[in-house]
Structure 1
Amino acid sequence: MDGNRIRDAIARAARTQSSVAAEIGLAPHKLSKSLAGTRAFKPAEIAALADALGFSTEYLLTGRGDDGGHPDSPLPERRILDSAAQLIATRGFHMVRIADIAKACDVSTGTVHYYFPTRDDVLTAALQHYAERMFVRVRARLDQLRDDPTAQLHHLIDSQLPVDPVVRDEWSVWIQFWTEAILVPALRPAHNDLYERWRSLIHTVVVNAQHAGAIGDRDPGMIAARFTSLVDGAATQLLTGTPGMNVELMRALLTEVFWPPYEAAR
């Protein structure tokens, strides 16, 4: 992430660093360190900055996408989608009405229906929105770690642990989408497209790590498939309170996908 881009966003929003830090609940010295590049922003902090400043997370992370103008600009589709996705994540898809989304955004139900005519449209858009947010966030960090393949693999693991509230919300939407896709076949293409992008990203990181000698020379496609499958199962168990599953165990299981004990014993 380019700290100068966030500084510019703060200036364009006519804010001070101290006021922004206070609004997002971040100590001023931590914000300063993150802007200087000596401390990495957490996912929740990036999302909070985007909301506070009126910019998209993609723009803050990469400089691409909606730059949002400033917080007083007209409400864009992204803000409606942010509210819809968060409501689905915290209340559940079947407990969220279009009226709830409209109220959260302070717009009419007609405005929400303009962007998302049906509830299935809302769920599909929420999944795509959160998946894209995750992809942007993970890729931005991977780019920063491009010279350290081992660190990239560890980041893939850490990025999927449902510890941060933002990541937990993303997982909530994912799991709800799985359930709906079982019952509504029309939702499956969007689900499968996103999964293919995710597996492709893992595959690329694995191949680069193998070329650098950071992990063993095994089938990268199988490693990516094993990682994504284990991520899904472990995260679901953790979020549903399955006895015995915890963050430390999830991290250990995912670590063994890249560095299995039998390789270390050779």
Structure 2
Amino acid sequence: MEKIRKFTRDQPEVRRRQLIEATLQCLAELGHAGTSVRAVCARAGVSPGLVTHHFEGIDDLIAAAYAHVGDQVAAMLDEAMADAGGDPLARLRAFIDTSFRAPMLNSDLLQVWLAFWSLVRRDPRIRAIHADIYGGYRRSLEKLVGDIAETRKLNLDVRLAVLGFTAMMDGLWLEYCLDPTTFTAEEASRIAHGWIDTLIEGGFNHLTRKPAESPAPIG
């Protein structure tokens, strides 16, 4: 009886996960334009009524799928950094290594991200999820880079440094997934590790923190 209760209690989440996975498959193969309630249900082998039971519609389902993928990617990166130990430099290098290995380097994942990115500007829910995913991504990196800068006594504008780092990482990942014949994953990793080498050698003098402005005189 306890097993039956547990199955009944877990079933809604299992169904939601099934629909989200089917949505991701549709986005990877058909793009946003081809992803509909009918296509998702056909892929999941369920009736359309199941979607409306768990989600408000296809837009709600796609938003849930975006949040799901963001959580999965964050979990992979967090696990890799945790395995690297407490040294922020080792954790940042683990972040790079994981970013340029399977399952992160995946053409299907690229298709899914492209579908989501195409919706960021016109769909407020997707925009909010995007801001949450990338906000967490940058905060994690700012903590690592900030700790490295503090340990090595670097006068660094951490925010600007991380913006440059994330742009480089996103660009390398995107270019590799679009055309892996241009360069290898190992070369992409070497480029990114070179960024870290430049950082710890104090090579980002153009990104130093500006001195705090003096308060305006009173009276």
TM bracket, shorter-chain basis: 0.7 to 0.9
Distance 1:211 1:170, change over 3 A: farther
Where relative contact order (Cα < 8 A, 6+ residues apart) is larger, the structure is 2
C-alpha RMSD of matched pairs (Å): 3.1
Is 1:96 the counterpart of 2:35? The answer is yes
| TM-score, scaled to structure 1 | 0.62
2:51 to 101, 106, 112: 112
Residue 89 of structure 1: how far off its partner (Å):
2.5
1:25 is matched with none
Is 1:79 the counterpart of 2:1? The answer is no
The more displaced of 140-149 and 219-228 is: 140-149
In structure 2, distance between residues paired with 1:158 and 1:217? 26
Contact 2:89/2:144, CA 8 A, preserved across alignment:
no
1:202 is matched with 141
Contact 1:175/1:236, CA 8 A, preserved across alignment:
no
Q: CA-to-partner distance for each residue in 1:93-118, whole Å, 9 max, x for gaps?
A: 22222223223333211112333333
The more displaced of 108-117 and 166-175 is: 166-175
What secondary structure is seen at the aligned counterpart in 1 of 2:119?
helix
Larger Rg: 2
Q: Which runs of 5+ in 1 are unaligned?
A: 1-68
In structure 1, distance between residues paired with 2:200 and 2:187? 18
The more displaced of 237-246 and 226-235 is: 237-246
In structure 2, distance between residues paired with 1:253 and 1:180? 30
Is 1:260 the counterpart of 2:163? The answer is no
Residue 132 of structure 1: how far off its partner (Å):
0.6
What secondary structure is seen at the aligned counterpart in 1 of 2:24?
helix
Contact 2:105/2:173, CA 8 A, preserved across alignment:
no
Identity %: 20
Distance 1:167 1:76, change over 3 A: farther
Q: Where does structure 1 differ by over 6 angstroms across 4 or more consecutive aligned residues?
A: none
The more displaced of 246-255 and 124-133 is: 246-255
Equivalences for 1:13-92 in 2 at 5 Å?
Answer: 74=11, 75-92=14-31
Distance 1:114 1:217, change over 3 A: farther
Matched positions, count: 195
